[in-house]
Structure formats: structure tokens, C-alpha cells
Chain A
């Protein structure tokens, strides 16, 4: 993501960001979805299922967990950001030893 002098000045003056910046951000988001061919509903279901699977192994903050699509150079990545509170002691420890 690029930020220009004008963007910073606009932020300082609490002015609206330039429309080209808005256009770029909106395009990046919409293209990530277009390219993956995932509808918002499917993505939400995917998010819930991923959270459920991960919650089996680690204690995650469900509220903070985010799964999103990001795109760069025609490559779309599924990005999961799941803050871990602490590992679930039993399950993982016993299996490891």
C-alpha cells in the first residue's frame, strides 16, 4: 500500500482521502473476491469453519479472529489472523511426548 504526501496532508487536515486512493483500495478488495470466486457468504462460512478447527488445538480469541482475502500480482491469498490466547494444555502436550 502506498501513501503519498497528499494522503498524509489530507489525514492531518482530516480531509477525505483522494478518490484515486479510495478507488485503489476498493479495487483491491473486489478483485480479491472476483479472482477467488468466493461469495461473501462462502467466505464467512469458511471463516467460521477455520476458527472452529483451530479452536480445537489452541485457545483463540474468536472475536478477534479474521480471515480475509488479499491479492498481489494476480496471486490471491487467504489470510487468517487468529490471535492465540494460550495453547490448550492437554491435547497438544500429551501427543508431542
Chain B
């Protein structure tokens, strides 16, 4: 498996744009498709992936003990009960940040590569050491951003750094899309963002209250097979990662009322 394992970094630059939520949902969705998937929490300072997956009470060892060789990888991995194809390697103590080096991340990922077909790395926000460590172990990347100026600017910065580190392909996920605001041109459009960042769009995720409900429960939306808007988006993204040709949702085509039609007319490009 090792050489074919896809090692995907999920990063954004700006904090709070939806990296961890995406990692959790993709992890579950890929596992449901029957592929052996590991999710690695590389946000050692502010770990959350365990919580979003509902695995926080089952952690015994972490990446730290694996690196210190005080436990085996298998002992640290937390298997998801309902989706046993998914395992989490939890982040260790925040003090790990004091000594963690790119080499350590590469070692951890190399171990995971032996047993999994997918390794998803939940990257910390920022472009400092935590990011650099995570990048050094990744082969490809998903850049998550929101249709907002600050998130897009930071994404651009991260894309530059990914390019210098020869991480490729780099694909874009546009999260928290609000079709109504896009239609009235009070939110950057999908095309605006893909044009500016010049990245292929892996998918967009609609703004959806159910995301919050699912994090409250520690059950990612893709786990229950929910058909809420964001759930559909996440599972489409997982299928596209696997190479399936799933058409993108066109946010401007959501809604069929007369006002929606008028809004669409107003978006007609003249130049």
C-alpha cells in the first residue's frame, strides 16, 4: 500500500474556516466507501479532531507516545466503532510543539502509510512551525477557504508555501457558501474565488446549521447518511477525491422562485 497511499494535508492559513470539520467528514465518508483511512490531528496546540469525531473518551495514547516509542502505533490509533475503516491518531500534549520537527511528522506519516490507503492531516491554522511540520509530511493538499476577503488572502499565502514545498495537486474547498448572498452579489462568488486563487475546485460546502448540531453530538454529518445540504457536499467531495465525476452544485441555481430567477438575471455577465 505504502507508495500508493494518498497523504492529504487539509489546511487554510486562516483559523476557523472549517478544516477540522472537513477532515472529520471526509474521514468518515471515505471509510464508508470502504477505504482504509487514517486521520491525523496535527493541530497539537489546539486539538479538536477527536471531539468532532466523538472519540475524545477513547484516547489512551497519542502521536507523542508513538514518537517516543513508548507505545506501538496500533495502540495509539483509535478505531471508529461504527466505521471501523477509520482510525484517528490523536495529537499529543501541546508541549510537543517545543520539540516537534518536520522529521517527526514524516516518521509518523510513514508509519501510517504502511497500513492505510488515505492519510488525512488536519493542519493547524497559521503558517508557522505547526504548518511547516505538517506540510513536510504531505504529498497533496486541500486548501479550505471561505468566500471572505481575509480567508481568501490567507489561502493565497498558504498556496504559495505549498507550491514552494512541491506539494501537489492542490485543490480548493470553498466552505460556508450562502447562495442567497452570492446571488445578490454580497458575497464573493465561487468563480471569483477560483479565479483569484487559480486552483481547481474540489467542491463547495454550503453554510448549514446541521454542522453545528453534528459537532454537538460528535457525529459527523457523513456518518448518519444525512441529506442536509452540507452532508451532501461533504460526501460529494469524498467521491471526487476517489475519482468519481460528480457535478458541482451551482449555488446560483439553488431556488426556483421568481425572485431567484430575477437574481440570476441580474448576475448575467456583460463583459
> What sequence of 0s and 1s flags, for each residue 176-203 of chain B, a beta carbon within 8 Å of any chain A beta carbon?
0000001011111100100011100000
How many residues of A sit at the interface, in one of the four size bands?
20 to 34
Q: Give the contacts of B222-271 with A (CB-CB under 8 A).
A: 265-271
Name the prevailing secondary structure of the A interface residues. helix
- Cβ 8 A contact of A5, one of B157, B192, B266: B266
A71 nearest in chain B by CB position: B196
A24 touches B192 (CB 8 A): yes
In the bound complex, what is the Cα–Cα distance between A30 and B270 (angstroms)?
A: 25
Question: By the criterion CB–CB under 8 Å, are A23 and B157 in contact?
Answer: no
User: Does A74 lie at the interface of the complex (its beta carbon under 8 Å from any beta carbon of B)?
Assistant: yes
Of A19, A23, A26, the most chain B CB neighbours within 10 A belong to A23
**How far, in angstroms, from A21 to B156 measured CA to CA in the complex?**
19
- Complex: A78 Cα to B157 Cα, angstroms: 19
CB distance from B171 to the nearest CB of A (A): 14
Given the contacts A27-B152, A27-B153, A31-B156, A2 and B185 also touching, CB distance less than 8 Å: no
Q: Is the CB of A6 within 8 A of B196?
A: no
Is A5 within 8 A of B185, CB to CB? Answer: no
Residues A30-46 near B (CB distance < 8 A): 30-31, 34-35
Looking at the assembled complex, report how far the CB atom of A38 sits from the nearest CB atom of chain B, in whole angstroms: 14
Task: Give the residues in chain A near B265, CB-CB below 8 Å.
Answer: 5
Contact of A18 (CB < 8 Å), options: B152, B153, B186, B268: B186
B185 close to A21 (CB less than 8 A): yes
Residues of A within 8 A of B160 (CB): 35
B268: chain A residues within 8 A (beta carbon)? 4-5
A77 within 8 A of B: no
Determine whether the beta carbon of A23 is less than 8 Å from that of B156. no
Query: Which residues from B are CB-within-8-Å of A34?
Result: 153, 156-157
Cβ-based interface call for A20 (8 A):
yes
Contact between A4 and B186, CB atoms less than 8 A apart: no
Q: Counting CB contacts under 8 A, is A53 at the interface?
A: no
B149-176 contacts to A, CB under 8 A, are 149, 152-153, 156-157, 159-160
Cβ contact within 8 Å between B149 and A23: yes
> Closest approach, in angstroms, between the C-beta of B34 and any C-beta of chain A?
36
From the candidates A5, A28, A30, A31, name the one contacting B267 in the complex (CB within 8 A).
Answer: A5
**Would you call A8 and B185 a contact (CB within 8 A)?**
no
Q: Determine how close the nearest CB of chain B comes to the CB of A82; give it in whole angstroms.
A: 26
Chain A residues contacting B270 (CB-CB under 8 Å) are 3-5, 7-8
| Given A20-B188, A20-B189, A24-B196, A6-B152 contact (CB < 8 Å) | no
Q: How far is the CA of A1 from the CA of B189 in the complex (A)?
A: 13
CA distance A7 to B186 in the complex (A): 12
CA of A91 to CA of B2 in the docked complex: distance in angstroms?
A: 67
Q: How far is the CB of B177 from chain A (nearest CB, A)?
A: 13
Q: A6-B185, A18-B185 are in contact. Are A28 and B196 (CB under 8 A)?
A: yes
Q: A19-B186, A21-B185, A73-B198 are in contact. List 13 more A-B contacts (CB 8 A).
A: A1-B271, A5-B265, A6-B185, A7-B270, A9-B266, A18-B184, A26-B149, A27-B188, A30-B153, A31-B153, A34-B153, A34-B156, A74-B197
What are 15 of the A-B contact pairs (CB < 8 Å)?
A3-B270, A3-B271, A4-B268, A6-B185, A6-B267, A7-B185, A7-B270, A18-B186, A20-B187, A24-B188, A27-B196, A31-B156, A73-B198, A74-B197, A74-B198
Chain A interfacial positions (CB closer than 8 Å to B): 1-9, 18-21, 23-24, 26-28, 30-31, 34-35, 73-74
